Amino acid sequence: MKYILVTGGVISGVGKGVIASSLGTLLKSCGIEVTSIKIDPYINIDAGTFSPYEHGEVYVLDDGSEVDLDLGNYERFLDITLHRDNNITTGKIYKLVIEAERRGEYLGRTVQVIPHITDAIQEWIERVAQHPVRDNITPEVCIVELGGTIGDIEGMPFVDAFRQFQFHVKRENFCVAHVSLVPSPSSTGEPKTKPTQASVKELRGFGLSPDLIVCRSEEPIGIEVKKKISDFCHVAPEQVICVHDLSSIYHVPLLMEQHGVIEFLKERLQLSIRPEKRENCLQRWKSLTRRSEKLHKQVTIALVGKYTKFKDSYDSVIKALQHAALQVGYKLKLNFIYSELLESKTLTEDPSNYHKVWQLLCESDGVVVPGGFGSRGIEGKIIACKWCRENNRPLLGICMGLQAAVIEFARNVLNLKKANTTEIDPTTEHPLVVDMPEHHSTEMGGTMRLGKRKTIFKSELSIVKQLYGNPQSVDERHRHRYEVNLKYVNQLEEQGMRFVGVDESGERMEIVELQNHPFYVATQYHPEYLSRPLKPSPPFLGLILASVKGLSKYIARGCHLSPRQMSDASSDEEIQMTTKINTSKLNGHSEHLQQANGCFVNGSSQAELIIASNGKSNGVA
């Protein structure tokens, strides 16, 4: 087993997750099986109880574990399925050691950070590195990202564990990539290398020497700066890689490949890369980024949520929208709308922001109402659902978004004016949404319906079922504690709100569609977690198609792209392959050309974010 440790310096959020994912992409493109581990030095057992403003979204895996959003990057880049133990926290390690001590496994010895905590860390990494993450194949390389920055007190046991680990697994099986910031202050106008020098010096002081120094900067840095870092940080100039700000994170693997990272890793870790594999490296990624740069048409989607001050709060939703938009040849523009500002009370308290967010909503081609918890902003989500229903605007509700759509329909169509969720009003006269009794608990973490669960389609006429390819059921990931009240389902369906998907018991409503509407769909599960650059999530694809008025034609073609969409979304080679396959079958009817092998390579365009939150713009990504 080969190990690559990715550390960070100067500041947090410097991009270690994308660098780690890109290293894995480079290796996987050469035919090497890769797995990933994320280390978070906080004492929490997992990320499930975090506010999205703390660490961004909580990402959910198949097994129901709530983990750091970087594991979402790993799964999307590498198209693998990670597990609970691929996310290590200080809380997990100390819990493991303390439980072992209580069982008497240390035979009366004093339990200390060294060697007991550091040994537990090393044993965990070696065990998890062997766990298959794709097709039951044992990985060859494990990429470990150490969260935080070098020098953080909470990260010290992990740093020392890796100091020992490098000798345990031998030098030829272990290398370190250190990601550091190279700022360019406007007062001087030139890149400053001193922060990186100090960061590398500190890393060396802890017994780890970087093999690669990845310099993050706003603009490309010149050869003089690279040479200076090389001289002061004791690495060769070719081991200093500059990754400047790019229009899309999917360009990062290509940039690193241009810097010769594949050849370096091949020699440093003594990897066996077959020549025929090496020649085909990154062809799909090159095609993906090339297509994303050619997009001219634009689709505008409003994301109506309560955590819009921090775009990482909806990282997977944003990526899923990007995947779907590129699939049909559109550049994505996102209008982030703080849902509370849509409420009528804002009109009197802050009329300027009220009109601003309503303008953003009205100019959008489609709307996403994502998940969330708590009472703040729920009425704004309900208002957004009402506006979409009455104005025939495409809507995709997710988790609480489904609950908001159901409550709105009950209030304004069934005339149940006091309809609400018991999460907000436990004594509501009409509890349209109630908590699930088996998830009652005095604790907060891990007490929801979590992980991959089966959804069974009830109706053959379902739009969502057709988007999935007409299966009898689908498996998607969940994260919720409340559900639609079964007592109101018949009343809702009688008025046109159809529950087309249910769980295996038939008592939990998973998918809702509104009759006589271009696209009014909501899911209790989170489809964004399984969206991939090469395979967009079907509900998100349906939203984008409806937003560009192409859904009905897409479904009429049997859920295949039109020739024009294929030319926008596919490389020249793919179009030629598809045309060759289908022309002989369709006798010249080019309008019915189907996709070769079921889908086309797709990916992410740069999202233009307009953030409306308390009247202040929070930046453009």
**72-104 exposure pattern, b = at least 16 Cβ within 10 A, e = fewer:** bbbbbbbebbbbbebbbbbbbbbebbeeeeeee
Q: Are 203 and 233 in contact (CB under 8 A)?
A: no
Read off the amino acid at residue 220. P
Q: Using alpha carbons, select from 364, 353, 376 the residue that is nearest to residue 306.
A: 376
**565-600 exposure pattern, b = at least 16 Cβ within 10 A, e = fewer:** bbebbbbeebbebbeeebeeeeeeeeebbbbbeeeb
Element holding 162 (H helix, E strand): helix 156-169
Indicate if the alpha-carbon torsion angle 249, 253, 257, 259 is positive or negative: positive
Residue with tokens 């706003």: 218
* Catalytic residue check, 399: yes
Q: Are 11 and 149 in contact (CB under 8 A)?
A: yes
Question: Of the residues 30, 281, 388, 399, which is catalytic?
Answer: 399
Total Cβ atoms within 10 A of residue 374: 10
Q: Are 501 and 458 in contact (CB under 8 A)?
A: yes
Q: What is the 3-state secondary structure (H, E, C) of 301-346?
A: EEEEECCCCCHHHHHHHHHHHHHHHHHCCCEEEEEEEEHHHHCCHH
Return phi, psi of residue 349, to 5°: -80, -35
Read off the amino acid at residue 616. K
Return phi, psi of residue 596, to 5°: -75, 135
How far apart are the C-alpha atoms of 583 and 587, rounded to whole Å?
6
Q: What is the 3-state secondary structure (H, E, C) of 228-279?
A: HHHHHHCCCHHHEEEEECCCCHHHHHHHHHHCCHHHHHHHHCCCCCCHHHHH
Question: Of the residues 55, 251, 526, 560, which is catalytic?
Answer: 526
CA angle, corner 381, sides to 377 and 382, nearest 5? 115
* Catalytic residue check, 423: no
Total Cβ atoms within 10 A of residue 179: 28
Question: Of the residues 145, 257, 528, 574, which is catalytic?
Answer: 528
Report CA-CA distances (Å) from 143 to 32, 54, 174, 604.
12, 24, 10, 23
Q: How far apart are the first and last CA of the chain?
A: 37
How far apart are the C-alpha atoms of 461 and 514, rounded to whole Å?
12
Q: Are 431 and 444 in contact (CB under 8 A)?
A: no
Catalytic residue numbers read: 399, 526, 528
